[in-house]
Chains A and B, each alone.
Chain A
Amino acid sequence: MNVLVCFKSVYDDVAIRTNSDKTLDYQAVPHIVSLYDLNAIEAAAQFVEADPEDRNLIALTVGDTKIHDTTMRKNVAARGASEVYLVMDDALEDAETHQTAQAVAAAVKKIGDIDLIICGDGSADVYAHQMGIQLGEILGIPNVNAVIDFKAEGNTIKVTRELDEEIEHIEVQTPAVLSVLSDMAQPRICQVKDIMTAGRKPVHELTLADIQCELPAAQYQILETKVPEPTPRKMVFFEATDEGIDQFIEQVHTYLTTEGA
């Protein structure tokens, strides 16, 4: 069974700085694997490692040419993928979800013979929760989100979903797309041997032309991205003195009996 896990390259939000006009400064900010996708990679890796003779893990990302980062691909390979596909094309810069889904679907067709596609719950930058759903729709295969567990029995995937107030158990036939919740699997801390062998795994660099993908037109335009003004603190306490603690309790009590009531 060939399992494909999708991951997105995003700016490392810890390194993003705010300019004086509240716009974001991405200069020299490294790309990292979207944190939610690390959960998806781990879930997929554990699934494959449960039956390593019959299962194989392939990793795929699409994006602009800025994702050309050898550390990132090695990081993914070290987490259990046997090979990594990167579709890099500047036409994918700031791609909307439906454009990315088209590119991923075309890449899946190009790679071929994929039985199961695993996606994260959302991406760390836009967190739209749409990739898995749109991908399944484009490929015309079942897609299931909010997944917290899955197992395979032949061509049947038994899936557990976590909904607002219930746990749902369903079955789908392969090929299928699953979007897993972050709680399903915590990313592993790679071992030295995984890191040292990651660079020897095959990496396939493709363009949109290579996968015969013509992107649909964008449907919206980002006019401005700014950091919101911070909410002013109602009261700041510096000292853990008896007097300070009394003041703190009084303020909390006032808040709970008025605004927070």
Chain B
Amino acid sequence: MYELQEEERMILSMVDSVCTDIIADRAAEIDEQDEFPQDIYDVLAEQGLFGLAMPEEQGGFAVSVNCWAQCVARLAEESPAVALMLFVAAIGADAIMTYGTDEQKNTYLPEIIAGEKKISFAMTEPNAGSDVWSLTTSAKPTENGYVISGNKMFISNAEVADLFCVFAQVDVDGERKPAAFIVDAHDERVVISAHEQKLGLHGSPTCPIFFDKVEVASDALIGEVGQGAQIAFHALNRGRIALAATALGITRASLKASATYAEGRKQFGQPVFDFEAVSFMLADMRIAATASHGLIDDAIDAFVNDARDVKERVAAAKVFCSDAAQQAATNAVQIHGGYGFCKEYPVERYYRDAKAFTILGGTNQIQRRIIADEVRKQFAL
């Protein structure tokens, strides 16, 4: 596994303090209120966490993706909704970081790093999830830029966003070519509807957006027309790593809560920890957490080295970590018995939150399809 550098260990330790001293007390309330916790966002911004994986030229700190992912995982132990703040910022800014011009980087990244502006990733549509080729949102070229029209769904943190990284199809001589654009979220022709009432991940608002012939200048285009799929895949890979890390946080939180409870809860005169059925569940959680960490590091290795099999390795991490988190949270509720079914104990929240990660960023079925395609190429053709 990747060994964090000294400063990276210190950053992770700092995040641990933020979690223990600040977020732990707010996590249940964030879930209960289901409102974006601006106060916690401000803390993360003040601590510099939005600049972790950003380039130094724009005021970021350029730590390893591994360090960034471990910070996401630690935040998720307290509140996956808070961890998703880093996920949304990173996936939203990925296109600018990776394919943007120097002017775009210098214009947008410093404000995103400082927490002064929030950017969201707007790709999913009612009939297109991870399939960028099926998008129906259009960007019609004009004399000075483009006019963007269409609907987006399930856009994380949309209601608090200042900017969107929007994916749309550009008609070039009758051929539809995907492209990415930076759009001002406060434009009056951008209509953001109320956030969905979700099973879990409360506090991380997910909204539909309608782009009602939104005019953008030509310098809003990121990369080139036709590069949209490439840009989206890179951002999605970064995002899936963050989702896997968030799931790892839930697995670790489930393990910690369950081990503590199992040691204190006594039945038939002994801690329930001593019963094999319980202790084996805890052992499985530990194995899952360690394996998740390893797969995340493997995915990051593929991501930063632009490996040919990056999609497969990132998908593997996302599938394994989210399935493991769901299993760990389910077992955590089981170990807690009736108490686990009540909001008094956090495992009830872990159970609801964990489900999301088997769906977000592309369902686990799609991820397995990606992996299976690679298996066929390698062994069956």
Contacts and interface: CB of A to CB of B under 8 A. Distances in A.
B6 A74 contact: yes
Interface in B225-277: 266
Contacts of A221: none
B85 to A, nearest CB: 15
Given A196-B61, A238-B266, A191 B10 contact: no
B290 to A, nearest CB: 20
A78 B18 contact: no
B344 interface: no
Contact of B47 (A70, A75, A191): A191
Chain A contact residues, majority secondary structure: helix
Contacts of A198: 7, 10
Contact of A189 (B7, B47, B52, B61): B47
Contacts of A195: 7, 10-11, 14
B188 interface: no
Nearest to A70: B6
Interface string B1-25: 0000011011100100110010000
A75 B11 CA distance: 10
B49 interface: yes
B48 interface: yes
A25 B271 CA distance: 28
A189 B11 contact: no
B17 A71 contact: no
B203 interface: no
Interface string A187-203: 00111110110110000
Contacts of A196: 7, 61
Given A195-B11, A196-B61, A238-B266, A189 B17 contact: yes
Contact of B10 (A78, A193, A238, A239): A78
B127 to A, nearest CB: 41
A192 B44 CA distance: 10
Contacts of B7: 74, 195-196, 198-199
A256 B48 CA distance: 52
Interface residues of B, number: 17
A190 B6 contact: no
Nearest to B50: A192
Contacts of A189: 14, 17-18, 21, 47
B46 interface: yes
A7 to B, nearest CB: 16
B346 interface: no
Residue with the greatest number of chain B CB neighbours at <10 A, chosen from A70, A75, A191, A198: A191
Nearest to A71: B6
A74 B61 CA distance: 17
Contacts of B51: 192
B61 A192 contact: yes
A191 B51 CA distance: 11
Interface of B: 6-7, 9-11, 14, 17-18, 21, 46-49, 51-52, 61, 266
23 contacts: A71-B6, A71-B9, A71-B10, A74-B7, A74-B10, A75-B10, A189-B14, A189-B47, A190-B10, A191-B46, A191-B47, A191-B48, A192-B14, A192-B47, A192-B49, A192-B51, A192-B52, A195-B7, A195-B14, A196-B7, A196-B61, A198-B10, A199-B6
